Chains A and B, each alone.
Chain A
């Protein structure tokens, strides 16, 4: 079974750093792009960027370029999303998802990681 399992919920203070993870299993992790999607409370899905774990090629949405860093460690089939200095506005649910090549849809999705930033 193809599966993406994300790390658990986080509560952080403004200015702190954070790295959340997404571990793939049941498929060749290095052969598919992994995307990250933000969902702020009560809002829709926002695409943040994608990474190809095979060579760490990374693309960012202009809205998130410079705000977050996407990385991957192919040796442990894990992708990451990190912040160097969190803001209250980063409070959201974050999903990773596998990007299907050629047709460019996402399947499956991770269960989500809730990040809460509050003083």
Chain B
């Protein structure tokens, strides 16, 4: 069965760029979506179809997908970006990555 692999944690200095990866076999051939979940809150869609931002999501959030890795990039990281981030694909059913905790130092 298909699996998605995310790092457990990523740290970034305030104002710098954070990159969160999502690995999967030939994931570049799939549509990858990203969700942000802040403590005590429901997940929120931040990127859909690899690199598209829903309305209301800052331009600082961007995504890419190629080969075996999809990447969520957060530019000019802010304290408010601290959260868990999950990638998701559809492979006959919904698959989520294990999640990455982003810490802004």
Chain A residues proximal to chain B, CB less than 8 Å? 35, 37, 44-47, 50, 59, 61, 95, 97, 99-100, 103-112
A46 touches B45 (CB 8 A): no
CA A106 to CA B35, docked complex, whole Å: 9
In the complex, the answer to whether B31 meets A104 with C-beta atoms within 8 Å is yes
* CB-based contact B42/A47 at 8 Å: no
**Cβ of B29 < 8 Å from any Cβ of A?**
no
The SS class assigned to the A binding surface is strand
Q: Which residues of B contact A (CB under 8 A)?
A: 31, 33, 35, 37, 42-45, 48-49, 54, 84, 86, 88, 90, 93-99
Partner of B42, one of A59, A61, A104, A110: A110
**Total A-B residue contacts, Cβ distance less than 8 Å:** 58
Q: Are B45 and A105 in contact (CB under 8 A)?
A: yes
A38 to B: closest C-beta gap in Å: 11
With a CB–CB cut-off of 8 A, which chain A residues contact B49? 103, 105
Contact between A44 and B99 (Cβ–Cβ < 8 Å)?
yes
Are the CB atoms of A103 and B86 closer together than 8 Å?
no
Query: In the assembled complex, which residues on chain A have CB atoms less than 8 Å from the CB atom of B37?
Result: 45
Sorted nearest first, the 3 A-B pairs with minimum C-beta distance are: A104-B90, A105-B33, A47-B94
Contacts of B45 in A (CB 8 A): 105-108
A–B complex contacts, Cβ < 8 Å, 24 sampled: A35-B94, A37-B96, A44-B86, A44-B96, A44-B98, A45-B43, A45-B86, A45-B99, A46-B96, A47-B94, A47-B95, A95-B42, A103-B33, A104-B33, A104-B90, A104-B94, A105-B31, A105-B49, A106-B43, A106-B45, A106-B88, A108-B45, A111-B42, A112-B42
In the assembly, what is the distance between CA of A112 and CA of B41, in Å? 8
Bound CA–CA A45/B87 (angstroms): 10
Inside 8 A of A97's CB, which chain B residues have their CB? 43
Q: Do A103 and B93 contact each other (CB < 8 Å), given the known contacts A44-B99, A110-B42, A112-B42? A: no
Q: Which of A46, A105, A111, A112 gathers the greatest number of chain B CB atoms within 10 Å?
A: A105
Q: How far is the CA of A47 from the CA of B93 in the complex (A)?
A: 9
